[in-house]
Structure 1
Amino acid sequence: MTSSQPVLRIRDVCKSYRRGPVLRGVSLDLLPGQLVGIVGENGAGKSTLLRILMGDLAPDAGVVECHGVVGSCPQDAVLNGAYSVEQHLRFFQEAYGLDSLDRAFELLEQLNCTGCRGERLEVLSGGTRQKLNLVLALMHDPRVLLLDEPYQGFDWETYLRFWDLAGTLRDRGCAVLVVSHLAYDAARLDTLYRLDAGVLSEMDRAGTGGVSV
């Protein structure tokens, strides 16, 4: 269920590098309990926009306002192959200041990953590492979740579990932003945007089972 007040508000965000403009006045409201997708080609400005939303990069112009705790699931996860899944969870437990790992274990179960808690990451598949990446982004129960290419390495069953989890998060009032070069099952999204040459525009999802660019 959505509220009329945005939890993430982006207004006229611009960013340029030496090669020229990357973002050209991007504006977007993300509401609690809303599932939004942004698709775009490589070089369209997706990574730059995500870095700005996560606070890793300052825009040249424009405003980003976030009201609530943010969770981010980057495409290139900060994971160490020498450590186990549970060791990663405990590191992030300390970083987030959590009293327990109950929420993390619940998420592992939802993603069918409980059997790998004691396994080192170096022996796990890319899909399993991506599951952990997602759990680390969610274990502190954020109000806003930013996902960069979240389907990477997922098999079909995990892909379906991902969408089930996304729906559960939406029902809990979490605002979810999925950024990818493609968006399968576009009908699952509340709103779908396309980022093209730094310009963000809403897409018509009618009759689309999947969108690629």
Structure 2
Amino acid sequence: MADDWGMLLFRHLIDAGIEEAEAGELTDDALAEAAAAGVEPGSMYGPALTYAGALARTVRQATRHAAPPPRRRDAIVLRLRNVTKRYRRRQVLREVNLDLRAGEVAAVIGANGSGKSTLLNICAGLTRASSGTVQRTERIGYAPQHEGVAPLLTPAEHFRLFGAACRMNRKEAVSVGSHLAAQLGWRPRRNVVASHLSGGTRQKLNVVLSELNGPDLILLDEPYQGFDQDSYVDFWDQVFRWRNGGAGVLVVSHMLHDLDRVDHVLELQPVGES
């Protein structure tokens, strides 16, 4: 079964325009990760055709981690103009505007139902705005509010998988991921899959994955859910390291006492039916 799935994945990657050598490496990596987890690759990744499409899109969009373009401290990394989102008769967002530059942190606040997560999804390109414009840099990282990790993969396997999409070799990806984890006060244990991690530790994994490729824009949707006090402090220290390094950071937050440390505060109001 694994051989058949692997052959299908390889062929679909070739059909999607991936060079043969790279398609072979991606296929070998997927099969190795599934074997290490003790499951069939189809159970871990889904149909070969679907997974090949996702890999191909990621490869085409990825830039080399080793040589990112230089950051201009005044460059706009995210610009929102009159962004509105409507679901049938219910309007979630109305004319949201923001300019976020490299080396700045913006906090998104608002009551439940005000569209904070919807806005982050729009900024990440996962949801389309009903009207308005969104301009963003190509190199982005995104940590969703709800778990975006594969439950049967270990942290190191996540680092290798996400690193492959960024053209990082396996050793480099694990080294970078482990270093970033340590900055959040977490040292991943070997052979512990994501489903066996605490909720707060899974969120740390999400945060690390969002930064793995050194993005110019980092989108964080309340990623500190489940953090203890020390981890929460480590998280904000990391946010400001990103800012000092020239990245732009957009973070959804309900912790109002931290807002005096950010450059912009975007408060969303519930819109409701219209």
Q: Report the TM-score, using the length of structure 2 for normalisation.
A: 0.68
The superposition leaves residues 133-188 of structure 1 with CA deviations (integer Å, 9 ceiling, x where unpaired) of: 10011000000000001220100110010011111100000000111344342222
SS in 1 for 2:107: strand
**1:51, 1:57 within 8 Å by CA — same for their partners in 2?**
yes
Q: 2:157 aligns with which of 80, 84, 87?
A: 87
- Cα 1:181/1:18, change in 2 over 3 Å: farther
Q: CA deviation at 1:84?
A: 1.1
The yes-or-no answer on 1:71 pairing with 2:138 is no
The yes-or-no answer on 1:158 pairing with 2:231 is yes
Q: CA deviation at 1:56?
A: 1.1
Counterpart-to-counterpart distance in 1, 2:89 and 2:130: 15
The yes-or-no answer on 1:136 pairing with 2:206 is no
SS in 1 for 2:76: coil
Moved more, 94-103 or 187-196: 94-103
2:258 matched residue in structure 1: 185
Listed as ranges, the gaps of 5+ residues in structure 2 are 1-70
- Cα 1:93/1:3, change in 2 over 3 Å: closer
Moved more, 25-34 or 80-89: 80-89
Q: CA deviation at 1:4?
A: 3.5
User: What amino acid is the match of 1:11?
Assistant: R
**2:82, 2:131 within 8 Å by CA — same for their partners in 1?**
yes
Counterpart-to-counterpart distance in 2, 1:150 and 1:189: 16
**1:40, 1:182 within 8 Å by CA — same for their partners in 2?**
no
Give me the CA root mean square deviation: 2.0
**Stretches (4+) displaced over 4 A:** none
Name the structure with the higher strand share.
1
Q: CA deviation at 1:93?
A: 1.2
Q: Percent identity?
A: 40
SS in 2 for 1:12: strand
Query: 1:1-213, aligned counterparts within 5 Å?
Result: 3-99=73-169, 100-101=172-173, 102-198=175-271
**1:37, 1:183 within 8 Å by CA — same for their partners in 2?**
no
The superposition leaves residues 75-105 of structure 1 with CA deviations (integer Å, 9 ceiling, x where unpaired) of: 1122222221111111111222223223222
Q: Report the TM-score, using the length of structure 1 for normalisation.
A: 0.86
2:57 matched residue in structure 1: none
Larger Rg: 2
Paired positions, count? 199
User: What amino acid is the match of 1:10?
Assistant: L
Moved more, 154-163 or 173-182: 173-182
The superposition leaves residues 9-33 of structure 1 with CA deviations (integer Å, 9 ceiling, x where unpaired) of: 1101111112322111111000100
Higher relative CO (CA 8 A, sep ≥ 6), structure 1 or 2? 1
**2:178, 2:188 within 8 Å by CA — same for their partners in 1?**
no
Counterpart-to-counterpart distance in 2, 1:97 and 1:6: 25
SS in 2 for 1:194: strand
Listed as ranges, the gaps of 5+ residues in structure 1 are 199-213
**2:107, 2:251 within 8 Å by CA — same for their partners in 1?**
yes
Counterpart-to-counterpart distance in 1, 2:188 and 2:254: 31
